[in-house]
Amino acid sequence: MDDFVIMTDSSSNLTPDLVQDAELEVIPFHCLSHHGEMICYDPETPFDGHAFYDSLRQDGPVKTSAINAHQFTQAFEPLLQKGKDILYIAMSSGISSTCAVAMQTAKDLLKKYPDRMIRVVDTLGASFGEGIFALKAAVMRRARQSLRSVAEWIEDNKRRMCQFFTVDDLMFLHKGGRLSGITARFGSIANIKPLLKGDSEGKIVTCGKVIGRKKSLQALADLFDRHAEQESDEIVAIAHGDCEEDALYLAGLLKRKRSLKDVLIRCYEPGTGCHVGPGAVALFFFSPVPCK
Please state the domain extents for the chain: 4-157, 160-286
User: Residues of the chain whose pLDDT is less than 50?
Assistant: 1, 176-178, 180-182, 184, 187
Instruction: Provide the pLDDT for residue 180.
Output: 45
| 4-157 classified as CATH 3.40.50.10170 | yes
Contacts of 221 (CB under 8 A, 6+ apart): 250, 253, 254, 257
CA 24, distance to chain mean position in Å, is 15
Q: Give the residue from 223, 242, 24 showing the smallest Cα distance to 131.
A: 24
Instruction: Provide the pLDDT for residue 62.
Output: 78
- Burial (CB count <10 Å: 0-12, 13-18, 19+), residue 183: middle
Residue range 160-286 forms a domain whose CATH class is: alpha beta
Instruction: Provide the pLDDT for residue 101.
Output: 97
The pTM of this model reads 0.92
Give residue-wise pLDDT tens across range 186-223: 545 557 788 999 998 998 888 888 888 999 999 999 99
Distance CA 195, CA 235 (A): 22
Query: Residue 281 in contact with residue 220, Cβ under 8 Å?
Result: yes
CA 204, distance to chain mean position in Å, is 12
Q: Looking at the DSSP assignment, which residues form a beta bridge with residue 32?
A: 37, 63
Contacts of 89 (CB under 8 A, 6+ apart): 6, 7, 8, 12, 121, 123, 130, 133, 134, 137, 154
Give residue-wise pLDDT tens across range 253-280: 999 888 887 899 999 999 989 888 899 9
205: enclosing H helix or E strand = strand 204-211
Distance CA 223, CA 231 (A): 16
